[in-house]
Chain A
Amino acid sequence: MLSRLVLVSGPALKNSGSFGACLVQASRSLHSSPQSQAPVPPLPEKGGKVRHGIFPEELFTLLYPKTGVTGPYMLGTGLLLYMLSKEIYVINHETFAAASIGAVIIYGVKKFGPSVASFADKLNEEKVAKAQEVKDIAVTSLAQAIEDEKKEQWRAEGRQMLFDAKRNNVAMLLETNYRERLHMVTSEVKKRLDYQIALQNLHRRMEQEHMVNWVEKNVIQSITPQQEKESIAKCIADLKVLAKATQAKATA
Protein backbone atom coordinates (compact mmCIF):
# COMPACT_ATOMS: atom_id res chain seq x y z
CA MET A 1 0.00 0.00 0.00
CA LEU A 2 2.74 2.38 0.89
CA SER A 3 4.37 1.45 -2.37
CA ARG A 4 1.16 2.34 -4.15
CA LEU A 5 1.17 5.75 -2.49
CA VAL A 6 4.73 6.29 -3.56
CA LEU A 7 3.84 5.33 -7.06
CA VAL A 8 0.77 7.61 -7.10
CA SER A 9 2.48 10.64 -5.60
CA GLY A 10 5.69 10.06 -7.48
CA PRO A 11 4.38 11.15 -10.84
CA ALA A 12 2.83 14.27 -9.30
CA LEU A 13 6.19 15.26 -7.87
CA LYS A 14 7.88 14.46 -11.11
CA ASN A 15 5.40 16.58 -13.02
CA SER A 16 5.82 19.69 -10.96
CA GLY A 17 9.56 19.39 -10.68
CA SER A 18 10.85 18.33 -13.96
CA PHE A 19 8.10 19.80 -16.10
CA GLY A 20 9.87 23.14 -16.25
CA ALA A 21 13.16 21.49 -17.13
CA CYS A 22 11.39 19.42 -19.83
CA LEU A 23 9.96 22.58 -21.32
CA VAL A 24 13.34 24.26 -21.58
CA GLN A 25 14.87 21.19 -23.11
CA ALA A 26 12.00 20.89 -25.61
CA SER A 27 12.33 24.49 -26.84
CA ARG A 28 16.10 24.16 -27.20
CA SER A 29 15.82 20.96 -29.17
CA LEU A 30 13.32 22.55 -31.59
CA HIS A 31 15.66 25.49 -32.36
CA SER A 32 12.76 27.93 -32.26
CA SER A 33 14.88 30.67 -30.70
CA PRO A 34 18.24 31.66 -32.24
CA GLN A 35 20.44 30.10 -29.58
CA SER A 36 22.48 27.96 -31.91
CA GLN A 37 23.20 28.81 -35.52
CA ALA A 38 24.05 25.26 -36.57
CA PRO A 39 21.94 24.10 -39.50
CA VAL A 40 19.15 21.73 -38.55
CA PRO A 41 20.03 18.20 -39.64
CA PRO A 42 17.66 16.64 -42.17
CA LEU A 43 14.60 14.92 -40.80
CA PRO A 44 15.04 11.18 -40.31
CA GLU A 45 13.36 9.00 -42.90
CA LYS A 46 11.89 6.46 -40.47
CA GLY A 47 11.07 6.57 -36.79
CA GLY A 48 13.16 4.91 -34.11
CA LYS A 49 13.36 1.12 -34.29
CA VAL A 50 10.94 -0.68 -32.03
CA ARG A 51 10.50 -4.29 -31.09
CA HIS A 52 7.02 -5.78 -30.87
CA GLY A 53 5.60 -2.43 -31.95
CA ILE A 54 6.04 -0.73 -28.58
CA PHE A 55 9.42 -1.29 -26.95
CA PRO A 56 12.27 0.82 -28.33
CA GLU A 57 15.40 -1.00 -29.46
CA GLU A 58 17.54 1.17 -27.18
CA LEU A 59 16.23 -0.71 -24.14
CA PHE A 60 17.50 -3.99 -25.54
CA THR A 61 20.88 -2.61 -26.49
CA LEU A 62 21.13 -1.00 -23.04
CA LEU A 63 20.56 -4.29 -21.25
CA TYR A 64 22.49 -6.51 -23.66
CA PRO A 65 25.98 -6.19 -22.06
CA LYS A 66 24.72 -7.16 -18.63
CA THR A 67 21.94 -9.63 -19.30
CA GLY A 68 22.37 -10.75 -22.89
CA VAL A 69 19.56 -11.36 -25.33
CA THR A 70 16.89 -12.58 -22.91
CA GLY A 71 17.44 -9.79 -20.40
CA PRO A 72 14.64 -7.41 -21.38
CA TYR A 73 12.21 -10.30 -21.79
CA MET A 74 13.02 -11.48 -18.30
CA LEU A 75 12.56 -7.95 -17.03
CA GLY A 76 9.21 -7.71 -18.76
CA THR A 77 7.99 -11.07 -17.48
CA GLY A 78 9.16 -10.24 -13.97
CA LEU A 79 7.42 -6.86 -13.99
CA LEU A 80 4.20 -8.39 -15.28
CA LEU A 81 4.20 -11.16 -12.69
CA TYR A 82 5.00 -8.64 -9.96
CA MET A 83 2.13 -6.42 -10.96
CA LEU A 84 -0.30 -9.35 -11.16
CA SER A 85 0.74 -11.03 -7.96
CA LYS A 86 0.81 -7.90 -5.87
CA GLU A 87 -2.47 -6.84 -7.43
CA ILE A 88 -1.00 -3.58 -8.57
CA TYR A 89 -2.84 -4.34 -11.77
CA VAL A 90 -6.22 -5.89 -10.96
CA ILE A 91 -7.82 -8.25 -13.46
CA ASN A 92 -11.44 -7.28 -14.08
CA HIS A 93 -13.84 -7.16 -17.05
CA GLU A 94 -11.97 -4.17 -18.39
CA THR A 95 -9.00 -6.51 -18.92
CA PHE A 96 -10.97 -8.70 -21.34
CA ALA A 97 -12.35 -5.64 -23.12
CA ALA A 98 -8.81 -4.26 -23.48
CA ALA A 99 -7.54 -7.64 -24.68
CA SER A 100 -10.23 -8.02 -27.36
CA ILE A 101 -9.88 -4.44 -28.55
CA GLY A 102 -6.11 -4.86 -28.60
CA ALA A 103 -6.46 -8.06 -30.62
CA VAL A 104 -8.71 -6.41 -33.18
CA ILE A 105 -6.42 -3.41 -33.45
CA ILE A 106 -3.34 -5.54 -33.88
CA TYR A 107 -5.08 -7.67 -36.51
CA GLY A 108 -6.24 -4.54 -38.37
CA VAL A 109 -2.83 -2.91 -38.37
CA LYS A 110 -1.06 -6.07 -39.43
CA LYS A 111 -3.51 -6.71 -42.27
CA PHE A 112 -4.10 -3.19 -43.64
CA GLY A 113 -1.05 -1.38 -42.38
CA PRO A 114 1.21 -1.78 -45.38
CA SER A 115 -1.46 -0.85 -47.95
CA VAL A 116 -2.51 2.26 -46.04
CA ALA A 117 1.13 3.21 -45.60
CA SER A 118 1.86 2.82 -49.29
CA PHE A 119 -1.24 4.87 -50.17
CA ALA A 120 -0.12 7.69 -47.92
CA ASP A 121 3.39 7.44 -49.33
CA LYS A 122 2.00 7.66 -52.84
CA LEU A 123 0.13 10.86 -51.99
CA ASN A 124 3.31 12.33 -50.65
CA GLU A 125 5.29 11.12 -53.63
CA GLU A 126 2.86 12.82 -55.98
CA LYS A 127 3.23 16.11 -54.17
CA VAL A 128 6.99 15.86 -54.23
CA ALA A 129 6.99 14.83 -57.89
CA LYS A 130 4.81 17.79 -58.83
CA ALA A 131 7.09 20.16 -57.01
CA GLN A 132 10.12 18.54 -58.63
CA GLU A 133 8.52 18.91 -62.04
CA VAL A 134 7.89 22.59 -61.42
CA LYS A 135 11.50 22.99 -60.40
CA ASP A 136 12.81 21.16 -63.47
CA ILE A 137 10.67 23.19 -65.83
CA ALA A 138 11.80 26.37 -64.14
CA VAL A 139 15.46 25.39 -64.40
CA THR A 140 15.25 24.44 -68.07
CA SER A 141 13.28 27.54 -69.00
CA LEU A 142 15.75 29.75 -67.17
CA ALA A 143 18.69 28.11 -68.89
CA GLN A 144 16.90 28.50 -72.22
CA ALA A 145 16.18 32.15 -71.48
CA ILE A 146 19.84 32.76 -70.69
CA GLU A 147 20.82 31.08 -73.95
CA ASP A 148 18.36 33.19 -75.92
CA GLU A 149 19.59 36.39 -74.34
CA LYS A 150 23.19 35.51 -75.18
CA LYS A 151 22.14 34.74 -78.75
CA GLU A 152 20.39 38.08 -79.06
CA GLN A 153 23.50 39.82 -77.81
CA TRP A 154 25.55 38.03 -80.45
CA ARG A 155 23.02 39.06 -83.04
CA ALA A 156 23.27 42.67 -82.05
CA GLU A 157 27.00 42.49 -82.69
CA GLY A 158 26.34 41.81 -86.33
CA ARG A 159 24.74 45.19 -86.97
CA GLN A 160 28.02 46.33 -88.49
CA MET A 161 27.27 44.25 -91.57
CA LEU A 162 24.03 46.06 -92.24
CA PHE A 163 25.79 49.38 -92.48
CA ASP A 164 28.55 47.94 -94.61
CA ALA A 165 25.91 46.65 -96.99
CA LYS A 166 24.25 50.06 -97.09
CA ARG A 167 27.51 51.83 -97.77
CA ASN A 168 28.31 49.31 -100.48
CA ASN A 169 24.98 50.00 -102.08
CA VAL A 170 25.64 53.71 -102.06
CA ALA A 171 29.13 53.23 -103.51
CA MET A 172 27.79 50.98 -106.23
CA LEU A 173 25.11 53.46 -107.14
CA LEU A 174 27.65 56.27 -107.38
CA GLU A 175 29.98 54.16 -109.49
CA THR A 176 27.15 53.21 -111.81
CA ASN A 177 26.17 56.83 -112.19
CA TYR A 178 29.73 57.86 -112.96
CA ARG A 179 30.13 55.21 -115.58
CA GLU A 180 26.86 56.19 -117.17
CA ARG A 181 28.11 59.74 -117.43
CA LEU A 182 31.34 58.63 -119.12
CA HIS A 183 29.43 56.55 -121.57
CA MET A 184 27.06 59.36 -122.31
CA VAL A 185 29.89 61.79 -123.07
CA THR A 186 31.62 59.39 -125.41
CA SER A 187 28.47 58.47 -127.23
CA GLU A 188 27.46 62.10 -127.69
CA VAL A 189 30.84 63.07 -129.16
CA LYS A 190 30.77 60.08 -131.42
CA LYS A 191 27.26 60.92 -132.52
CA ARG A 192 28.32 64.41 -133.49
CA LEU A 193 31.31 63.20 -135.47
CA ASP A 194 29.24 60.57 -137.17
CA TYR A 195 26.70 63.22 -138.02
CA GLN A 196 29.35 65.28 -139.72
CA ILE A 197 30.49 62.31 -141.75
CA ALA A 198 26.96 61.38 -142.71
CA LEU A 199 26.32 64.95 -143.72
CA GLN A 200 29.39 64.92 -145.96
CA ASN A 201 28.36 61.67 -147.55
CA LEU A 202 24.96 63.00 -148.23
CA HIS A 203 26.38 66.10 -149.89
CA ARG A 204 28.63 64.08 -152.16
CA ARG A 205 25.88 61.76 -153.20
CA MET A 206 23.54 64.59 -153.97
CA GLU A 207 26.20 66.30 -156.05
CA GLN A 208 26.85 63.06 -157.93
CA GLU A 209 23.24 62.45 -158.69
CA HIS A 210 22.68 66.02 -159.69
CA MET A 211 25.67 65.90 -162.00
CA VAL A 212 24.55 62.66 -163.59
CA ASN A 213 21.06 63.95 -164.12
CA TRP A 214 22.38 67.14 -165.66
CA VAL A 215 24.68 65.31 -168.01
CA GLU A 216 21.91 63.00 -169.09
CA LYS A 217 19.56 65.86 -169.70
CA ASN A 218 22.08 67.71 -171.75
CA VAL A 219 22.93 64.66 -173.84
CA ILE A 220 19.32 64.01 -174.60
CA GLN A 221 18.85 67.62 -175.53
CA SER A 222 21.80 67.57 -177.82
CA ILE A 223 20.42 64.72 -179.87
CA THR A 224 18.93 66.81 -182.90
CA PRO A 225 16.19 65.30 -185.11
CA GLN A 226 18.63 65.10 -188.00
CA GLN A 227 21.02 62.93 -186.05
CA GLU A 228 18.13 60.83 -184.92
CA LYS A 229 17.05 59.98 -188.46
CA GLU A 230 20.60 59.19 -189.48
CA SER A 231 21.18 56.94 -186.53
CA ILE A 232 17.87 55.10 -187.11
CA ALA A 233 18.78 54.53 -190.86
CA LYS A 234 22.20 53.25 -189.80
CA CYS A 235 20.60 50.92 -187.35
CA ILE A 236 18.24 49.51 -189.98
CA ALA A 237 21.14 48.96 -192.40
CA ASP A 238 23.15 47.20 -189.73
CA LEU A 239 20.21 45.04 -188.87
CA LYS A 240 19.76 44.01 -192.52
CA VAL A 241 23.41 43.06 -192.76
CA LEU A 242 23.15 41.07 -189.61
CA ALA A 243 20.00 39.34 -190.82
CA LYS A 244 21.71 38.33 -194.08
CA ALA A 245 24.68 37.05 -192.14
CA THR A 246 22.58 34.94 -189.88
CA GLN A 247 20.47 33.59 -192.79
CA ALA A 248 23.66 32.60 -194.56
CA LYS A 249 24.87 30.91 -191.44
CA ALA A 250 21.59 29.11 -190.99
CA THR A 251 21.45 27.67 -194.49
CA ALA A 252 25.17 26.85 -194.51
Chain B
Amino acid sequence: MAGRRAALKAIDWLAFAERVPPNQRGMFNALKTRTDAISAKLASLPGKPAPIDWSYYRNAVAKAGMVDEFEQKFNALQIPEPVDTQTSAIDAQEQEAAQSALAYVEASKVRVATFEEELEKFKNMIPFDQMTIEDLNATFPETKLDKEKHPYWPHKPIADL
Protein backbone atom coordinates (compact mmCIF):
# COMPACT_ATOMS: atom_id res chain seq x y z
CA MET B 1 0.00 0.00 0.00
CA ALA B 2 1.88 3.02 -1.21
CA GLY B 3 1.58 6.38 0.43
CA ARG B 4 0.93 5.18 3.95
CA ARG B 5 0.59 8.30 6.03
CA ALA B 6 3.63 9.38 7.98
CA ALA B 7 3.93 8.21 11.53
CA LEU B 8 1.87 10.25 13.94
CA LYS B 9 3.88 12.97 15.70
CA ALA B 10 4.05 12.34 19.41
CA ILE B 11 2.44 15.24 21.23
CA ASP B 12 3.48 16.13 24.74
CA TRP B 13 0.09 17.07 26.12
CA LEU B 14 1.56 18.28 29.42
CA ALA B 15 3.84 20.81 27.78
CA PHE B 16 1.04 21.78 25.45
CA ALA B 17 -1.26 22.35 28.41
CA GLU B 18 1.31 24.65 29.99
CA ARG B 19 1.41 26.86 26.96
CA VAL B 20 -2.32 27.32 26.77
CA PRO B 21 -3.40 30.70 28.20
CA PRO B 22 -6.20 30.46 30.78
CA ASN B 23 -8.85 31.99 28.56
CA GLN B 24 -8.45 29.26 25.93
CA ARG B 25 -8.48 26.35 28.30
CA GLY B 26 -12.00 25.31 27.31
CA MET B 27 -11.02 24.96 23.66
CA PHE B 28 -7.95 23.00 24.65
CA ASN B 29 -10.01 20.55 26.69
CA ALA B 30 -12.44 20.06 23.82
CA LEU B 31 -9.54 19.36 21.48
CA LYS B 32 -8.04 16.86 23.86
CA THR B 33 -11.31 14.94 24.32
CA ARG B 34 -11.80 14.81 20.56
CA THR B 35 -8.29 13.58 20.00
CA ASP B 36 -8.67 10.94 22.68
CA ALA B 37 -11.92 9.70 21.13
CA ILE B 38 -10.33 9.44 17.71
CA SER B 39 -7.24 7.62 18.93
CA ALA B 40 -9.40 5.22 20.96
CA LYS B 41 -11.39 4.41 17.84
CA LEU B 42 -8.19 3.89 15.89
CA ALA B 43 -6.77 1.59 18.53
CA SER B 44 -9.91 -0.53 18.56
CA LEU B 45 -9.48 -1.45 14.88
CA PRO B 46 -6.76 -3.99 14.09
CA GLY B 47 -4.25 -2.99 11.43
CA LYS B 48 -5.00 -5.73 8.95
CA PRO B 49 -8.23 -7.68 8.64
CA ALA B 50 -8.19 -11.42 9.36
CA PRO B 51 -6.95 -13.28 6.25
CA ILE B 52 -9.48 -15.44 4.37
CA ASP B 53 -8.74 -19.16 4.42
CA TRP B 54 -8.94 -19.87 0.68
CA SER B 55 -8.06 -23.57 0.88
CA TYR B 56 -11.00 -24.31 3.13
CA TYR B 57 -13.35 -22.52 0.81
CA ARG B 58 -11.86 -24.22 -2.21
CA ASN B 59 -12.76 -27.58 -0.69
CA ALA B 60 -16.10 -26.53 0.66
CA VAL B 61 -17.67 -24.61 -2.17
CA ALA B 62 -18.93 -26.90 -4.92
CA LYS B 63 -19.09 -24.36 -7.68
CA ALA B 64 -16.01 -24.75 -9.74
CA GLY B 65 -13.75 -21.79 -10.15
CA MET B 66 -15.81 -19.51 -7.97
CA VAL B 67 -13.35 -19.50 -5.14
CA ASP B 68 -10.44 -19.05 -7.50
CA GLU B 69 -12.18 -16.21 -9.20
CA PHE B 70 -12.93 -14.60 -5.86
CA GLU B 71 -9.36 -15.06 -4.69
CA GLN B 72 -7.95 -13.52 -7.82
CA LYS B 73 -10.23 -10.55 -7.71
CA PHE B 74 -9.66 -10.07 -3.99
CA ASN B 75 -5.91 -10.01 -4.26
CA ALA B 76 -6.02 -7.71 -7.22
CA LEU B 77 -8.28 -5.26 -5.47
CA GLN B 78 -6.66 -1.92 -4.55
CA ILE B 79 -8.56 -0.13 -1.90
CA PRO B 80 -8.21 3.56 -2.49
CA GLU B 81 -6.89 5.53 0.41
CA PRO B 82 -9.17 8.28 1.67
CA VAL B 83 -8.36 11.64 0.22
CA ASP B 84 -6.83 14.17 2.60
CA THR B 85 -8.75 17.40 2.22
CA GLN B 86 -7.97 19.05 5.54
CA THR B 87 -4.21 19.12 5.77
CA SER B 88 -3.90 22.01 3.34
CA ALA B 89 -6.49 23.95 5.30
CA ILE B 90 -4.56 23.26 8.45
CA ASP B 91 -1.35 24.41 6.84
CA ALA B 92 -3.03 27.61 5.72
CA GLN B 93 -4.31 28.14 9.25
CA GLU B 94 -0.82 27.57 10.55
CA GLN B 95 0.61 30.24 8.25
CA GLU B 96 -2.07 32.66 9.33
CA ALA B 97 -1.44 31.89 12.98
CA ALA B 98 2.28 32.40 12.45
CA GLN B 99 1.54 35.83 11.00
CA SER B 100 -0.74 36.90 13.79
CA ALA B 101 1.61 35.51 16.42
CA LEU B 102 4.44 37.51 14.87
CA ALA B 103 2.36 40.67 14.96
CA TYR B 104 1.37 39.98 18.57
CA VAL B 105 4.96 39.36 19.59
CA GLU B 106 5.99 42.62 17.95
CA ALA B 107 3.33 44.56 19.80
CA SER B 108 4.28 42.75 22.98
CA LYS B 109 7.91 43.73 22.51
CA VAL B 110 6.90 47.36 22.08
CA ARG B 111 4.94 47.15 25.31
CA VAL B 112 7.90 45.55 27.05
CA ALA B 113 10.12 48.38 25.79
CA THR B 114 7.80 51.04 27.24
CA PHE B 115 7.60 49.19 30.53
CA GLU B 116 11.36 48.85 30.73
CA GLU B 117 11.78 52.53 29.95
CA GLU B 118 9.51 53.47 32.82
CA LEU B 119 11.29 51.01 35.07
CA GLU B 120 14.60 52.68 34.19
CA LYS B 121 13.15 56.06 35.01
CA PHE B 122 12.07 54.82 38.41
CA LYS B 123 15.39 53.16 39.07
CA ASN B 124 17.43 56.25 38.18
CA MET B 125 15.23 58.62 40.12
CA ILE B 126 16.84 60.58 42.98
CA PRO B 127 15.47 59.57 46.37
CA PHE B 128 12.43 61.50 47.53
CA ASP B 129 14.12 63.03 50.54
CA GLN B 130 16.71 64.69 48.35
CA MET B 131 14.21 66.11 45.88
CA THR B 132 13.09 69.69 45.57
CA ILE B 133 9.70 70.65 44.18
CA GLU B 134 11.29 71.37 40.80
CA ASP B 135 12.83 67.89 40.77
CA LEU B 136 9.45 66.39 41.68
CA ASN B 137 7.74 68.26 38.83
CA ALA B 138 10.45 67.13 36.46
CA THR B 139 10.14 63.46 37.43
CA PHE B 140 6.36 63.37 37.71
CA PRO B 141 4.92 65.99 35.38
CA GLU B 142 1.45 65.39 36.77
CA THR B 143 2.45 66.99 40.09
CA LYS B 144 3.21 70.33 38.44
CA LEU B 145 0.79 72.98 39.65
CA ASP B 146 -0.85 74.92 36.83
CA LYS B 147 -0.23 78.51 37.88
CA GLU B 148 -1.86 79.99 34.78
CA LYS B 149 -5.15 78.19 35.14
CA HIS B 150 -5.34 78.67 38.91
CA PRO B 151 -3.30 81.76 39.69
CA TYR B 152 -4.11 81.80 43.40
CA TRP B 153 -2.94 79.35 46.01
CA PRO B 154 -3.46 76.38 46.21
CA HIS B 155 -3.21 76.39 42.39
CA LYS B 156 -5.67 73.54 42.03
CA PRO B 157 -9.41 73.16 42.54
CA ILE B 158 -10.32 72.95 46.23
CA ALA B 159 -11.95 69.59 45.63
CA ASP B 160 -8.58 68.14 44.63
CA LEU B 161 -6.86 68.96 47.90
Contacts and interface: CB of A to CB of B under 8 A. Distances in A.
Interface of A: 42-43, 128, 131-132, 135, 138-139, 142-143, 145-146, 149-150, 152-159, 161-183, 185-187, 189-190, 192-193, 196-197, 200
B31 A165 contact: yes
Nearest to A186: B49
Contacts of B101: 156-157, 159
Contacts of B57: 193, 197
B119 to A, nearest CB: 5
B128 to A, nearest CB: 5
Contacts of B81: 174, 178
Interface string B103-138: 011001101100110110011011011101000000
Contact of B122 (A142, A167, A172, A192): A142
B123 to A, nearest CB: 8
A250 to B, nearest CB: 60
A163 B9 contact: no
Nearest to A195: B61
B67 A193 contact: yes
Given A193-B67, A200-B62, A175 B5 contact: yes
A113 to B, nearest CB: 22
B6 A168 contact: no
A173 B35 CA distance: 10
B145 interface: no
B122 A149 contact: no
A118 B133 CA distance: 22
Contacts of B49: 182-183, 185-187
Contacts of B118: 138, 142
Interface string B1-28: 0000110110110011011110000000
Nearest to B60: A197
Contacts of B109: 153
B29 interface: no
- Determine the main DSSP class of A at the interface with B: helix
A150 B31 CA distance: 26
B67 A153 contact: no
Contacts of A156: 101, 104-105
Contacts of A164: 9, 11
Nearest to A171: B5
A43 B127 CA distance: 12
25 contacts: A42-B126, A43-B130, A128-B129, A132-B128, A135-B125, A142-B115, A142-B116, A142-B118, A142-B122, A149-B112, A153-B109, A156-B105, A158-B18, A158-B20, A159-B98, A168-B8, A171-B6, A174-B84, A176-B41, A176-B45, A178-B79, A181-B82, A185-B74, A196-B61, A197-B60
